[in-house]
Amino acid sequence: MKFLIAGAGAIGAYIGAHMARAGLDVTLFGRGPHLRAMQEHGVRVKTVEGDFEARPKVASKLEEVGQVDVVLLAVKAHSLPELAPQLRPVLGADTTVVSMQNGVPWWYFQGCGGPYEGIRLERVDPGGVISAAIEPRRVVGSIVYLSTEVEQPGVIRHTEGDRISLGEQEGTRSDRCRRIAETLIAAGLRCPVTTRIRHEIWVKILGNVAFNPVSVLTGATLVQMARDPEVSTLVRNIMREAEAVAGQLGLELPVSIEQRMAGAEKVGEHKTSMLQDLEAGRAMELEAVVGAVVELGERFNLPMVHTRTVYACAKLLSECRTSATPRRV
């Protein structure tokens, strides 16, 4: 199978390095200094199990890649409206597109049936740009459970996790999911195929919607937020609101709030991906992770008091950082 990883940042380059080391046909698509470093020197991965280097194919233009069997969409959610229309040169008749974004994905209400079939979340897919570029039949959902960061261009530091769950929208165990999973397993990753992809998405959202924006506002690690009496109360309240949204969607989550809190505390002194993005001056996945939950709460007439407050503060912080200009002293 021929793979393209569209978005060769921390997650994409890490997966691509594993696949290239296993001798698989994979191309990384990216831009900027990180891309140039990978073109010149390959990808160096630092892990507690030991460092390794790999030389995957790297492209700066999708026209250079040609049609592929599988596209792994490894960009952040806010980058998809720009990227999705550019994918046409790599999409063949049977190309599968695996979404790997945090939060509520653009395809969530495609093929779900029931009263919410076809809902489009403006905060996730503004103007329907993503849905228009990627047909529903191509999409396989995924949930990424690993933590990486770009330590310097071409160098990826892996701190924890090696699992990527795959799932069809309709909950079947398809041949294409099995083939993709087998390929990623051959690359040294864990890749279960789930028949409950929407449930798993909400389990991850339950933590991300609370911990990520609060970490941005406080600069705290997961264990600090979980152990602080007042902040942990806020986090639990946000989780309850997200749980209420999931309930409106007919989902009974298999993990309790207390289990989610305990899991976060166990991770320890880890900064959320959103806090890492803020500190690095990058755009945050605020809309897909938090804004989408708020948008659904509005649709269902749920109060969402705690989530909405934290979202508003984190959004203003992001806007202030974006518009800030250096002052001359």
Q: Output the six-digit token pair for 278.
A: 């803020």
Radius of gyration of the chain measured on its C-alpha atoms = 19
Nearest to 236 by CA among 259, 269, 217: 259
As its CATH architecture, domain 2-195 has: 3-Layer(aba) Sandwich (3.40)
Amino acid at 196: R
Task: Count how many residues are written for the chain.
Answer: 329
Segments of 14-102 assigned E as strands? 25-29, 43-46, 52-54, 57-59, 68-73, 91-99
Residue extent(s) of CATH 1.10.1040.10 domains in the chain = 199-323
Domain at 199-323, CATH class: mainly alpha
Beta-carbon contacts of residue 115 (< 8 Å; ≥ 6 apart): none
Helices (H) and strands (E) in the chain, counts: 13, 9
**pLDDT at 324 (0 to 100):** 65
**Cβ neighbour number for residue 84 with a 10 Å cutoff:** 21
- The SS3 assignment for 249 reads coil
Q: Output the six-digit token pair for 197.
A: 């992809």
Q: Is the four-CA dihedral 289, 290, 295, 298 of positive or negative sign?
A: positive
CA angle 289, 115, 110 (to 5 degrees): 55
**pLDDT at 267 (0 to 100):** 85
Residue extent(s) of CATH 3.40.50.720 domains in the chain = 2-195
**pLDDT at 207 (0 to 100):** 95
Report yes or no on whether pTM surpasses 0.95. no
- The SS3 assignment for 181 reads helix
The residues assigned a catalytic role are: 204
pLDDT string in tens for the chain (329-residue length):
999 999 999 999 999 999 999 999 999 998 889 999 999 999 999 998 899 999 999 999 999 999 999 999 999 999 999 999 999 999 999 999 999 999 999 999 998 888 999 999 999 999 999 999 999 999 999 999 988 889 999 999 998 889 999 999 999 999 999 999 999 999 999 999 999 999 999 999 999 999 999 999 999 999 999 999 999 999 999 999 999 999 999 999 999 999 999 999 998 888 898 998 999 888 999 999 999 999 999 999 999 999 999 999 999 999 998 776 454 33
